[in-house]
Structure 1
């Protein structure tokens, strides 16, 4: 009897400890041709490059939009990438229960094949200067807000067509960017 229990334990322990991690093939998720260059689609904010929240808290330093990156590895809970220009590694922790979209969809928002010049095409120099500093101001377009702050989290802003986008500055502190049509008309800061 003990031998039977031992054998069952040997079978189930690896299954128990293997968790739910799965490999995500970024090139397939993004439908990239082999060897394609990828860039950040918006400014990526972080305090610790080894532990960046997928909520993209708007504090600390940031990696500018249009930065060429290389994906090192990705699974259902995180992905690691390297900045091509200097080799620095970054790791984004991903929590699908907060993000409410599969990591593959998040990667489609996070990465692009467009470089900085293509992403900023048509943006006035004064506005581009603000976006490049991670600032959002009245009069900016939705596209410009996306470059500066990234995508708002789906559980607070279900649709990009909404008139108000809610961003996290840090836990329990938010900023609301209010639009009339395509233009920012107000920026409201709240401590919740």
Structure 2
């Protein structure tokens, strides 16, 4: 019997199954209803799932984290951050503490920017992440870099530029992208 139990546990581990873990979405992310990509494109037909949304993680698949959000199965896809191990990737997006607790302590302008998935000068790195998600690690190998490159869609990119203390001092983007991602 003990050998059977060990074989069952090994089989579960090999499929990426894990115990359910409750948490919160770290940041504003966009979904097509089933797939949330780490690139976080603003494409037609996608809706935003706000930072702080409660979720349950059900396990891992190939380059994905299985979650249930608002009663609906979704996958958070590690599409452009594959240099980040999947368990570390999951810990970025699924957090133990509700980000809304911190959000409520921020100045109104920062709260409004985060609530609309946009950036404004004076944000911290953490606030930028809450607003628009993590920069993909394939293009941003270090979160300590002064510049984080993001993609709004396949052809529209923008850069969040930080000072030495980690404060957002500039957002570089073409005018049409800028109006979608920046609160002046």
Indicate the TM-score class for this superposition, using the shorter chain for normalisation.
0.7 to 0.9
Work out which of the residue numbers 67, 74, 83 in structure 1 matches 2:60.
Answer: 74
CA displacement, residues 48-78 of structure 1 (integer Å, 9 cap, x when unaligned):
1223222222454211111100123422332
Normalized against structure 1, the TM-score is what? 0.72
Equivalences for 1:40-119 in 2 at 5 Å?
A: 40-46=25-31, 48-59=32-43, 60-83=46-69, 86-95=70-79, 98-119=81-102
Work out which of the residue numbers 35, 38, 41 in structure 1 matches 2:23.
Answer: 38
- Alpha-carbon separation, structure 1, partners of 2:27 and 2:105: 16
Normalized against structure 2, the TM-score is what? 0.75
CA 1:178–1:131: 2 relative to 1, 3 Å: same
The match for 1:161 is: 144
Query: Secondary structure of 1:153's match?
Result: coil
- Alpha-carbon separation, structure 1, partners of 2:19 and 2:48: 22
CA 1:39–1:108: 2 relative to 1, 3 Å: same
CA 1:126–1:170: 2 relative to 1, 3 Å: same
CA displacement, residues 139-178 of structure 1 (integer Å, 9 cap, x when unaligned):
2121110110111111211111111001111124211011
CA 1:178–1:57: 2 relative to 1, 3 Å: same
Number of residues paired by the alignment? 159
Q: Is the 8 A contact 1:26 1:104 kept in 2?
A: no
Please, which runs of 5 or more residues in structure 2 have no aligned partner? 1-13, 178-184
The match for 1:133 is: 116
The match for 1:14 is: none
CA 1:66–1:123: 2 relative to 1, 3 Å: same
CA 1:26–1:112: 2 relative to 1, 3 Å: farther
